[in-house]
Amino acid sequence: MRKAFIISVLFIALSCASDDDARNNPFLVNLAFQVELNTNLPQYGALNFPGNFVVVNSGGLRGFVIYHPGNSQYFAYELSDPNHSPNECSKMTVSGITASCPCTDDNNEYSIFNGQPTQGGGQYGLKAYRVERSGNIIRVFN
């Protein structure tokens, strides 16, 4: 009985895989930041209503987009294209629920609903940031 337990524990411990390689994007560094958005202010008021997003140019590497799909959910993503080094054209623009890179060497597009690529050949999805809402304040941080 004891042997079976030890073998089971070893099997479980050895079968666990790390996803560190998938999360460690070589193009985007981890910067510590915190931005508070007051939804009583006109520039952030759209976040009170489902289906809206706001682009914030401070925080992160090249700013971030925050999207409110509904209920109490909010998603925030870095606006630097995650599939090439930051350069003069790698800041993405947002239209609808799509973030797209204006660089002419690729046509990368990403969903701001789930951060996944929707077009292009990139292996990395959008870099997600943490989001908390307390009353009228939405805090985005890394």
| 22-36, 68-82, 90-104: the lowest-pLDDT one | 22-36
pLDDT of residue 120: 87
Counting Cα atoms < 13 Å in the Cβ hemisphere of 72 gives 6
Nearest to 131 by CA among 111, 115, 118: 115
**CATH class held by domain 25-141:** mainly beta
Mean pLDDT of 90-109: 91
From residue 130, how far is each of 9, 65, 98, 100, 142 by CA, in Å? 33, 12, 19, 21, 6
pTM beyond 0.85, yes or no: no
pLDDT confidence bin for 19, thresholds 50/70/90 = very low
Mean pLDDT of 30-55: 96
Domain boundaries, the chain: 25-141
Asked if residue 87 lies in contact with residue 105, where contact means CB atoms within 8 angstroms, the answer is no
Q: Give the rounded distance of the alpha carbon of 12 from its chain centre.
A: 31
Q: Which tens digit of pLDDT belongs to each residue from 43-86?
A: 999 999 999 999 999 999 999 999 999 999 999 999 999 998 88
